[in-house]
Amino acid sequence: MNLPLEGKRAVVTGAGRGIGRAVALALAHAGCDLAITARTVADLESLALELEGVGRRCVVLACDVTDPDAVNAMSEGVLGQLGGVDVLVNNAGKGESHPIKGHPDELWHRMIAVNLTSVYYVTKAFVPAMQTGGGGRIINIASTAARIGEKYVAAYTAAKHGVLGLTRSLAAELVGSGITVNAVCPGFVDTPMTDASVANIAQKTGMSIEQARERLASGNPQKRLIWPDEVAAMVVYLASDAASGINGQGINIDGGAVMS
């Protein structure tokens, strides 16, 4: 069996569902031992069983990635149990919308915290161990919102633009340590987060759930939502030796909606 990441140790934040869950499973099938985190352990229990069923070691830790103390405690737990980290996937995130008129300040701060500042906290916590270990891969799950602007999601878009900027800066800074840093920028993905967006559109416009879902899918030239496994496959590739020369990139997975 071809295991391109055999013996590697990976951390996935926001691993309980959606993209994070798909990424964790794909990394396990590629040979990684895993540390998976989310706000609550309950979201991770069934995933842990699946990872162990693949024959991989799995460390489960609850962590609010917007809390630097919680992140530091989590990273200490991961390093203590896995002994090091070769692949870090910053996946935790959340999307909320509101017109700029009357935009709540707390919404702005929440979106920046969970989508951008968390990437900074988690990366800062693990980079020293990666440098000591001789290198690794940092893969940030961004969005096509990191590349273009969409109405009603100013805070989310600003945060994801920040993730791409942080990715590029860290790629330049860490390359000498044998660490590559890249971002994956999917369009709308068939996940619970997108389901929430669909429900919100339906509520505000009077569309049916099916119509709202088609509206989001229509932004993709292939007229569909992206599958979580497509994002996960790109993460596995970026974590592999085959991608050693890819650094500082934002890779779109959107059916060609954004060509850059």
Query: Any residues with CB less than 8 A from the CB of 25 and at least 6 apart, and which?
Result: 47, 50, 51, 54, 232
**Residue 71 neighbours by CB distance under 10 Å:** 23
Read off the tokens for 91: 């996946």
> Out of 120, 121, 152, 156, which one is annotated catalytic?
156
Catalytic site residue 156?
A: yes
Read off the tokens for 90: 């910053």
Q: Quote the crossing angle between the two packed helices 118-132 and 154-174, to the nearest 10°.
A: 20
Contact 182, 248 (CB under 8 A): yes
Q: Quote the crossing angle between the two packed helices 192-205 and 209-217, to the nearest 10°.
A: 120
Q: To which residue do tokens 């919404």 refer?
A: 107
Three-class DSSP category at 205? helix
Distances (CA, A) of 57 to 29, 64, 73, 91, 222: 12, 22, 20, 20, 38
Residue 229 burial (CB < 10 Å; 0-12/13-18/19+)? Answer: middle
What residues are annotated to the active site? Answer: 156
